[in-house]
Amino acid sequence: MTLSSLALPPRRLWRVPRRWFAAVALAIPLGCVLDTQLELTEAQQWLLAIPVWWVVLSVLGELPRAQRVTLLCFLPLIALAELLLSHGLGWYVYRLENLPPWIVPAHGIVFLTAIRVVDLPSPSTRALAWGAASAQALYGLLNLVLRGDEIGALLSVVYVIGMIVLPAEGKRFYAVLGLVVAYLEVIGSVLGVWAWAPELFGLAETNPPSGAVGGYAMVDGAAWVLATLILARVAAGRPLPSRSPA
């Protein structure tokens, strides 16, 4: 069996967007349930990481060059952010107080899901951006009023501003990212895969904070900037195509 044939199932899902979205919607609760209900040890979590990495690496070859570079920049950045925010800042903690091996590639799948919508003809960018921004603003406001989630409200503002100022491609990307992150944060927190601190920098937050996507947006933005710089350097280093003699 070749590597190409092993990569075929995830690629088939990727090529049909509705199948990809349905698979991700099912995979998020399934992964969380496997981790918590089977009470996986850290060593066993590596077994869960294998199929997640398999999906990410299989789809990598389907991406245009710029998106592929951005994803490759994003993965180490999100790993670093996870370590700093969970172990350094103590903003949240995982069930085993580690960084589960499947978390970084799972972030990759979330990233890929947002990318998958960028080039689709529908829904319209305007509808997608307004819908996501309105939903996030309402979510942040309700959580602030009903549960005192100050951190979530601040991060929700970051997200809504992004929906206003970003170009069309960015709006589509972050709109879907917001929906997926809200979904996975609720599931992961309820099932006990991770838990958020009740306070950060003197501000209250809930578990999960309603504006968690604001944190994702910062890391994704950093990955986009880094990828843009890398692609610009590569392009600048290429020799100009030679002209054929007249």
Q: With a cut of 90, say whether residue 190 has pLDDT above it.
A: yes
Which of helix, strand or coil describes residue 196? strand
In this predicted structure, the answer to whether residue 242 has a pLDDT above a threshold of 70 is no
pTM to 2 decimals? 0.88
In a domain, 241, yes or no: no
**Is 163 part of any domain?**
yes
pLDDT over 50 at 241, yes or no: no
Domain count, the chain: 1
d(CA 217, CA 68): 18
pLDDT in tens, 102-160: 999 999 999 999 989 888 888 888 898 899 899 999 999 999 999 999 999 999 998 88
Nearest Cα residue to 222 out of 85, 78, 60, 67: 78
Asked, for residue 49, whether it belongs to a domain, the answer is yes
Question: Domain for residue 246, yes or no?
Answer: no
**Residue at 216 is within a domain:** yes
The helix-helix angle for 168-191 and 17-37 (nearest 10°) equals 30
Residue 242 domain-assigned? no
Range of the structural domain that residue 32 is part of: 3-231
Assess if residue 243 is contained within a domain. no
- Would you say residue 184 has pLDDT above 60? yes
**What pLDDT sits at residue 224?**
72
Q: Minimal CA–CA distance to 220: which of 183, 170, 151? A: 170
Q: Looking at residue 53, what is its pLDDT?
A: 96
Per-residue DSSP letter, 181: H
Tell which residue, 86, 62, 60, has the closest CA to residue 74: 60
